Amino acid sequence: MNFGSYLAAMDTILQLNDWMMNTGRRSGDPIKVVSQLCSTLTNAGVPLWRVNIGQRFANPLLIAWGIIWTPDGTETYDVTHARMLTDGYIGSAFEYISLHQRPLHKSLLGLDPEKDHVSYIEFAQAGGTDYYATLLDYGDGSQHGCTFATQAADGFTPEHLAMIESTKTGLSCALEPMTMRKSTQSLLRTYLGNGPSESVWNGTIQRGERTTLDAVVMFTDLRGFTALSDVASEEEVFDALNGYFDVVVQSVTEAGGDVLKFMGDGILSIFAIEGSADRNLQCCQAVSAAKGVLTGLEQLNEARTNGDKLPLDVGVGINVGQVSYGNIGSPGRLDFTVLGGAVNVASRVEGLTKSIGDRVLATQMVAKEVPHLFTSRGHHTVRGIHHPIEIFGLLEAVV
């Protein structure tokens, strides 16, 4: 690249930075920003083949997300904490720039499979010739990694790398607010569930306000948890809880429900009913989730038994009715909670699993929507209801 071409290219980069700091930042679309970045750099003469813009999360479940660009398209991805402990991260360019606090420029030619990281080997096998990694610094002190790969025979020139570095100001300005919003929204979903987190994010649930809706309510409780806590170590108790929580949350999520609250070893989930025609569907979904819990628990117990750990058991209560959720507390400290008669009944029906013997019990309002899956267990007294109500047990043989 001659000097005149380089000056023209840098002028293009200035225009790109202006676009990212204004139009791109306001778009709220990371794919649009990264696509514009890569297409502009390519048109300016930087021979890009693959670009990965990694963004760190403040989240107990996910540690990062990112955007990958290739000439064929752009997509996003998530990274769990567990992945950071694998060979996929250890020894990678992302780890290098984070540890050494400086960019990495590495040729992908003549690599040593015994010494070089597997990602470099894979890029080279796909036709990559050169690789560059650098850091983005955000205003909150966090750092985020960017990697650029090319298939050009001569790799990246110093001018190419200077152009890439010159885009970092605009890229940081565009992506930082998106990352902060995405991180906050992800954190809210982690602790509150999908529906409530969206309401809190939009500012529609303030202190004292509540949202009321019809829903199928499922209350799940770990049986024998107190006894387990008395004989097991804290590590074993937390391991049991996490395994049980994984089973329930996965089952509820796959069935389209929303986990709203963890209460010790109890889990409150709902399946929102959007209209009268939706009532049967959501009852079916809740039953599907309960069946998923039983199946998942069976698989979990097989692994626990093989590891010389005590098996776990569960009780599930299902009801349908009106619930309200919102923020309660003092002006300086709020808690999210779910209230309503339907919630109380679901919890107390679950409590009957211990005396009746079925692991999944439901009220008549649920059972009548899926009668072929339930059988009557007679009328029982439920605290808070003036007269005995008919309780139905799930036919586990059909699970």
- Does the pLDDT value for residue 380 go beyond 60? yes
Arithmetic mean of pLDDT, 126-148: 93
150 shares a domain with 245: no
The pLDDT-based confidence of 1 (bands split at 50, 70, 90) is low
Whole-angstrom distance, CA of residue 310 vs CA of residue 341: 35
280 shares a domain with 213: yes
CATH of the domain at 262: 3.30.70.1230
Cα distances from 119 to residues 46, 82, 116, 125, 158, in angstroms, run 22, 18, 8, 10, 23
pLDDT in tens, 52-76: 999 887 666 677 889 999 999 999 9
- Between residues 329 and 114, which one has the greater pLDDT? 114
Number of Cβ atoms within 10 Å of the Cβ of 177? 14
243 shares a domain with 96: no
Q: Which of 91-95, 132-136, 226-230 has the lowest mean pLDDT?
A: 226-230
281 shares a domain with 201: yes
Whole-angstrom distance, CA of residue 28 vs CA of residue 219: 37
Residue 203 near residue 184 (C-beta atoms within 8 A): no
DSSP string, 54-109: EEE---SSEEEEEEEEETTEEEEEEEETGGGGSTTTTTSHHHHHHHH-S-EEEE-S
Residue at which a domain ends, from 189, 204, 239: 189
Vertex 175: Cα angle to 84 and 88 (nearest 5) = 15
Residue at which a domain ends, from 189, 210, 233: 189
- Does the pLDDT value for residue 397 go beyond 60? no
CATH of the domain at 96: 3.30.450.40
Radius of gyration of the chain (CA): 27
Tokens of 306: 């093989």
Whole-angstrom distance, CA of residue 186 vs CA of residue 189: 5
Average pLDDT, the chain: 87
The pLDDT-based confidence of 43 (bands split at 50, 70, 90) is very high
201 shares a domain with 179: no
**Domain range holding 177?**
3-189
285 shares a domain with 260: yes
pLDDT of residue 335: 67
Arithmetic mean of pLDDT, 105-115: 93
- Does the pLDDT value for residue 326 go beyond 80? no
Residue 208 near residue 227 (C-beta atoms within 8 A): no
Residue at which a domain ends, from 145, 160, 189: 189
307 shares a domain with 289: yes
Arithmetic mean of pLDDT, 365-379: 93
Residue in 50, 48, 44 with CA at minimum distance from that of residue 17: 44
The pLDDT-based confidence of 180 (bands split at 50, 70, 90) is confident
pLDDT of residue 131: 97
Domains held by the chain: number: 2
The pLDDT-based confidence of 398 (bands split at 50, 70, 90) is very low
Q: Which of 121-135, 158-172, 192-206, 217-231 has the lowest mean pLDDT?
A: 192-206
155 shares a domain with 223: no
pLDDT of residue 390: 94
- Does the pLDDT value for residue 83 go beyond 90? no
* CB neighbour class for 305 (10 Å; exposed up to 12, middle 13-18, buried from 19): exposed
145 shares a domain with 16: yes
> For the whole model, what pTM was predicted?
0.62
Percent of the chain exceeding pLDDT 90 equals 56
pLDDT in tens, 269-317: 999 898 878 899 999 999 999 999 999 999 999 999 898 888 899 999 9
Tokens of 265: 């070893």
The pLDDT-based confidence of 204 (bands split at 50, 70, 90) is low
374 shares a domain with 240: yes
| Helices (H) then strands (E): counts for the chain | 14, 14
200 shares a domain with 184: no
170 shares a domain with 198: no
Q: DSSP letter at 22?
A: I
